[in-house]
């Protein structure tokens, strides 16, 4: 059964994509939106992002059947506290945060009895804000739903069905496992991109304008990722610090091994690694999951 009213709190890239996707795919559903930033609310009203934009989080949830928190992970707890007195008893609460354990803990602190079905659409871009969203963002992308033990199974099924109806592929996973998987597939790559672009722009013997002028393909790809929203990523690294630090430790060891192979001229070791990594890339393409095309998914239906 679909939700008659969906409330989106946080109208940035993901919240605005969600509002657009609901309007495109399930047009009878009434979408209510709220964002703490008055300028974002103004833009959302001008571009008719939602059926209704409210002036407070509590007003936004008052008659909601599904509430989706689309704010940075560090703000989830504060929003949960803000809406605690106004969530209808039969509403389902969900979110789109990039890491799950810390969000579950933060939401549970204010809302111990609300039906909470956490989710993470593994889809995004380096942009942010209400005008960056698009309805097809979730098409053929995974949405990982991470219900804590004991979550009502019908509520979980309804949230899975909701994401399917927006064109996503769905999967359920334990929250702690999600956080370890995403630490290596999403969080570490962002950390590496932030580091390499930072290093290049800090070099004494290469000027900033040379970095920009001669940026080769590989470096350009890193700059796209390193342009991602600073607030969002600060929060992700702090919230998922345990898993990120574990992966970083492993990564540093592998980097040291690579350093030794280069120093000692071990070409066969380099060749073996690069052959293995090439096959990973090929498997991703074979599964049709390559989104490296510059226009991927950005059709603004």
Ligand X SMILES: NC(=O)c1ccc[n+]([C@@H]2O[C@H](COP(=O)([O-])OP(=O)(O)OC[C@H]3O[C@@H](n4cnc5c(N)ncnc54)[C@H](O)[C@@H]3O)[C@@H](O)[C@H]2O)c1
Ligand Y SMILES: O=C(O)C(=O)C[C@]1(C(=O)O)C=C[C@@H](O)C=C1
In sequence order, what are the beta bridge partners of 172?
145
Q: Which is nearer to ligand X, 57 or 244 (CB)?
A: 57
Size of site (CB under 6 A) for ligand X: 29
Q: Which is nearer to ligand Y, 7 or 98 (CB)?
A: 98
Query: Could you say which of 8, 15, 160, 225 contacts ligand X (CB under 6 A)?
Result: 15
**Residue 148 per-residue DSSP state:** P
Dist CA 168 CA 140 (whole Å): 5
> Across the chain, where does the E strand assignment appear?
5-9, 30-34, 52-53, 66-69, 92-95, 115-121, 142-145, 169-172
Instruction: By CB under 6 A, name the one of 79, 122, 155, 159 that touches ligand Y.
Output: 122
CB neighbours (10 Å) of residue 55? 10
The option from ligand Y, ligand X, none interacting with 160 (CB < 5 to 8 A, set by class) reads none
Contact 48, 130 (CB under 8 A): no
Helical spans, DSSP H, in 126-266 = 153-165, 175-182, 188-202, 208-213, 217-226, 230-239, 241-263
**Residue 171 Cα to chain centre, angstroms:** 15
131 binds, among ligand X, ligand Y, none (CB under 5 to 8 A by kind): none
**Per-residue binder mask for ligand X (CB under 6 A), 43-72, x = binder:** --------------x------------xxx
C-alpha–C-alpha distance, residues 93 and 107, integer Å? 10
Cβ atoms of residues 144 and 186 within 8 Å: no
Sign of CA dihedral 237, 243, 249, 251: negative
Choose, by CB under 6 A, the member of 51, 86, 105, 126 that binds ligand Y: 126
- Of ligand Y, ligand X, none, which one does residue 102 interact with (CB within 5 to 8 Å by kind)? none
Of 37, 48, 45, 46, nearest in space to 12 by CA: 37
Shortest separation between residue 201's beta carbon and ligand Y, angstroms: 20
Minimal distance, residue 142 CB to ligand Y, in Å: 9
Which among ligand Y, ligand X, none contacts residue 137 (Cβ within 5 to 8 A by kind)? none
Place of tokens 């399917």: 164
Residues between 102 and 141 with contacts to ligand X, criterion CB under 6 A: 121, 124, 128-129
Task: Print the binding letters for residues 161-200 with ligand Y: x by CB under 6 A, - otherwise.
Answer: -------------------------x--------------
Question: Which of 5, 23, 54, 98 contacts ligand Y by CB under 6 A?
Answer: 98
Per CB under 6 A, residues contacting ligand Y are: 98, 122-126, 186, 228
Per CB under 6 A, residues contacting ligand X are: 9-15, 35-37, 40, 57, 70-73, 75, 78-79, 96-98, 121, 124, 128-129, 229, 232, 236
């Amino acid at each position: 059964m679909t939700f008659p009213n969906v409330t989106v709190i946080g109208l940035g890239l993901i919240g605005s994509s969600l509002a657009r996707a609901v309007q495109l795919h399930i047009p009878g559903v009434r979408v209510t939106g709220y964002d703490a930033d008055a300028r974002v609310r103004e833009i959302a009203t001008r571009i008719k992002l939602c059926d209704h934009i409210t002036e407070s989080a509590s007003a936004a949830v008052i008659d909601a059947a599904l509430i989706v928190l689309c704010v940075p992970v560090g703000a989830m707890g504060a929003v949960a506290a803000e809406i605690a007195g106004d969530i209808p008893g039969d509403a389902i609460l969900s979110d789109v945060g990039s890491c799950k354990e810390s969000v579950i803990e933060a939401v549970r602190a204010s809302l111990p009895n609300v039906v909470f079905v956490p989710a993470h659409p593994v889809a995004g871009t380096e942009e942010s804000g209400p005008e960056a969203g698009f309805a097809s963002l979730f098409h053929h992308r995974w949405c990982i739903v991470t219900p804590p033990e004991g979550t009502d199974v019908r509520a979980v099924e309804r949230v899975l069905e909701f994401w399917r109806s927006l064109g996503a592929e769905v999967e359920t996973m334990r929250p702690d496992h999600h956080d370890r998987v995403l630490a290596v597939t999403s969080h570490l790559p962002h950390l590496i991109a932030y580091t390499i672009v930072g290093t290049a722009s800090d070099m004494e013997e290469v000027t900033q304008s040379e970095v920009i002028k001669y940026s080769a393909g590989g470096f350009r790809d890193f700059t796209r990722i390193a342009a991602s929203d600073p607030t969002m990523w600060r929060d992700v690294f702090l919230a998922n610090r345990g898993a990120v630090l574990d992966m970083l430790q492993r990564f540093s060891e592998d980097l040291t091994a690579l350093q030794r192979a280069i120093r000692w001229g071990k070409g066969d070791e380099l060749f073996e690694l690069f052959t293995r990594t090439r096959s990973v890339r090929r498997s991703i393409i074979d599964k049709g999951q390559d989104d490296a095309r510059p226009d991927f998914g950005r059709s603004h239906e």
